[in-house]
Amino acid sequence: MNRGLDPTAIGKSFFRDYYRKLNPEDVDVSSFPMREFAFSYFEGAGMQRHEAFRTPADLSEHLRHTVPRHVYYSSAYYTNPSAKDMDAKGWQGADLVFDIDVDHVKTPCKELHDSWTCKKCGATGQGTCEKCPKCSSESIEKEVWVCETCINVARDEVLKLIEFLENDFGISKDEMSVTFSGHRGFHVHVESEAIRSLGQDGRREIVDYVKGLGLDYKQILVRVPGGFKLRFDSSASGWYGRIARWATLYSSGNELVMDLKTWQIAIEKCVSSEGAAIDEKVTVDIHRLIRLKNSLHGKTGLKAAAFSIEELESQHLLNRVKAFKGEALVEVKRVPQVVLDINLKEGRQRIPLYAALYLLLNGAEIVSFQVL
């Protein structure tokens, strides 16, 4: 509980200052008049959607006037994006969108900043937990934070996905764009005429492929004396080459002959290592609302910054997503050891303003908050 503090009022004040300075070109997206926009606000729950704007300048004015907590736009193109009925919108196609969130990836840093509580027996612990080790209940309340390691791991998954899209699907990097999700990962957008009209089934096939689901072992392996070996070598395209390169790496260059069960286990490990950790629901949804670039995330105060493919390889990604400069003096209780790119301790301390706002919006127990 933040005693004496009003996180909603504080957060909205900072967001108002940010949106006052945001230029229309910062929130421009392709085929702008054909996109649906949606917002959630600091006051009240729920989402206001089915909004449309003629120009980015109109949207920019709306942001300055209403100061939303979250801003989304549709991956789909519509002839009538403001229609309340989905059938009346007139779907004209959709971008191919991928969501990569570090929640779906195991990282050692989660032991430093995430925690859980069992709602049934009250057991607690650090890191992640899906089933209580004490009572086996799956009713788990999680406290989730993000650090620089999380973001770098998510970035590596994005680069892995881009390699799939470019080399296996022939999609040009010019047709891809990447934005920070504002929280714990990235969104990858593909705008291509060849994909725009693709339905849910076709998009699910793409998901299955980049995740390595449904691989046919009969096509991968061939029987030889003593067991099975790979049918293809490391020069093969697609998953055949990935599996061969992975097997070569872990066999010191020797050709492996193993029984079928051992091969299946090895290939599963390869798929787990080489497949892209994406959220299927986002990609197959042809009406998906996705966070608008350069908008602020209401639980973090971080900016959904856009990155070029080359910029993703930077070692300081966080510098691009920090929306606020300066420092704050805060007194905090029950804080994680590390958030974003700073170490924390309980009690009164001077920290960067972006980190203080992140703590406040993400539910840290803050006793006092003073901008310096």
Residues noted as catalytic: 99, 101, 279
Which two three-digit tokens encode residue 327? 């420092």
Distance, in Å, from the CA atom of 304 to the CA atom of 67, rounded to the nearest integer, reads: 16
DSSP string computed for 173-205: GGGEEEEE-SSSEEEEEE--HHHHT--HHHHHH
Query: What is Dmax (Cα atoms) for the chain?
Result: 75
Distance, in Å, from the CA atom of 202 to the CA atom of 284, rounded to the nearest integer, reads: 8
DSSP string computed for 4-70: T--HHHHHHHHHHHHHHH--GGGG--TTGGG--EEEEESSSSS-EEEE--SSHHHHHHHHHHH-EEE
Burial 184-207 (b: 16+ CB within 10 A, else e): bbbbbbbbbeebbebeeeebeebb
Give me the sheet containing 365-371, strands edge to edge: 347-352, 327-333, 365-371
Query: What residue has token string 């403001």?
Result: 82
